[in-house]
Amino acid sequence: MDLLGQLVNIKFYLLGSYPKGDVGGLLLNIIMALMALGLSFGAGALLGYSRLSCRLYIKIPSMAIVETVRATPLIMIIFWIYFFLPYIFGGNVTLFWSAVVSLAIYAAAYQSEIVRAGIIAVPRGQLEAALSTGMSRYKAMMYVILPQAFRIMLPSFVSFFVSLFKDTSTVFIIGIIELTQAGIIISQREPDKIYAAYVSMGIGFWCVSFAISRVARRLEERIGVFDLESIRPDACRDEFMLLPREKKTGEGMTPAACEPEDSK
């Protein structure tokens, strides 16, 4: 009942004090995630790509950047940017930009690893095949290597985006009224219904995360990710389970679990 009671606050959960004040709530989480992704995509791809270089003066700087960021908790990055950005750009950096820049830096480092792993996973023979038909290195990358790398990357990219979206909640710490902060404010207004506020926040994050992975699956099927089986949430492999076998099937790798019962 308390949970249904939270419907009164739904506008605050979803939009913050918009349109009277700034956009907030869940919409702000979505906006921050998308902007961080947009800002970091190019940098992340470039960092991942240059880390593959054998030239140390290209490889080492990108490696240093990526490893430093990855070794730092997101919350530290948020604080650093929050305190240092005003030094560089003067006092007029808004909370919003400070949050988006922190998330973008964090996202760039993780994306670079996804890009690097994706490119490196394309078999060597593919480049040789492309070059041997007379393609330049650039054409081979554009038409043969990157399209394959992209398909390999897509599943990890999607799960990264879902985590990035959830990580946007961390910026509540500098006082941005996104979904978490909105929920905290509501729970403080009505301390007796505190659990209802926290469950509502959870539902909000869940819905958007679920929607992202659904949309992503469509996309993955459309562009033909090679290993569709592995991203199918309903895929099952009973033969890997170290449990007594349920059905009378062989020890082999038969797709036993998903087959109908014997017709004997």
Partner 1 sequence: MIKFIATNKWFKDRHVLKNINLEIAKGEVIVICGPSGAGKSTLIRTINKLEPIDDGEIIVDGMYLSDPKTDLTLLRAEIGMVFQHFNLYPHKSAIKNITLAPRKVRGLSKNQATDRAEKLLDKVGLIHRRDAFPVQLSGGEQQRVAIARSLAMEPKIMLFDEPTSALDPELINEVLDVMTSLAKEGMTMVVVTHEIGFAQKVADRVVFMDDGEILEEGTPPDIFVNPRHQRTKEFMSSVFHIPIFDANQEED
- Among residues 45, 108, 144, 179, the one that binds partner 1 under rule CB under 8 A: 144
> Does 139 sit near partner 1 (CB under 8 A)?
yes
Q: By the 8 A CB rule, do 3 and 196 touch?
A: yes
Q: By the 8 A CB rule, do 208 and 165 touch?
A: yes
> Does 143 sit near partner 1 (CB under 8 A)?
yes
Nearest distance from C-beta of residue 159 to partner 1, angstroms = 21
* Cβ distance to partner 1 smaller for residue 35 or 225: 225
* Cβ distance to partner 1 smaller for residue 150 or 198: 150
Dist. CA 251–CA 147, nearest whole Å: 38
Q: By the 8 A CB rule, do 29 and 16 touch?
A: no
> Does 162 sit near partner 1 (CB under 8 A)?
no
Dist. CA 66–CA 107, nearest whole Å: 10
- Among residues 90, 134, 191, 250, the one that binds partner 1 under rule CB under 8 A: 134
Q: Which span (112-120, 136-144, 179-187, 190-198) binds partner 1, by CB under 8 A?
A: 136-144
* Cβ distance to partner 1 smaller for residue 37 or 231: 231
> Does 125 sit near partner 1 (CB under 8 A)?
yes
> Does 156 sit near partner 1 (CB under 8 A)?
no
**Token pair for 188:** 């403080």
> Does 133 sit near partner 1 (CB under 8 A)?
yes
Q: Which of 140, 174, 153, 176 is nearest to 226 (CA)?
A: 153
Nearest distance from C-beta of residue 154 to partner 1, angstroms = 12
Question: What angle (nearest 5°) sits at the alpha carbon of residue 232, between those of residues 228 and 236?
Answer: 115
* Cβ distance to partner 1 smaller for residue 203 or 223: 223
> Does 128 sit near partner 1 (CB under 8 A)?
yes
Residues 198-227 that bind partner 1 (CB under 8 A): 224, 226
- Among residues 31, 58, 95, 135, the one that binds partner 1 under rule CB under 8 A: 135
* Amino acid symbol at 244: P
> Does 129 sit near partner 1 (CB under 8 A)?
yes
Nearest distance from C-beta of residue 144 to partner 1, angstroms = 6
Q: How long a stretch of residues is the chain? A: 264
Which residues lie below 8 Å from residue 110, measured CB to CB, with a gap of 6+?
A: 44, 70, 160, 164
Q: By the 8 A CB rule, do 169 and 25 touch?
A: no
Dist. CA 213–CA 161, nearest whole Å: 9
Dist. CA 128–CA 53, nearest whole Å: 18
* Cβ distance to partner 1 smaller for residue 11 or 137: 137
Q: By the 8 A CB rule, do 47 and 108 touch?
A: yes
- Among residues 123, 175, 202, 255, the one that binds partner 1 under rule CB under 8 A: 123
Positions touching partner 1 (CB under 8 A) are: 123, 125-126, 128-136, 139, 143-144, 147-148, 151, 224, 226
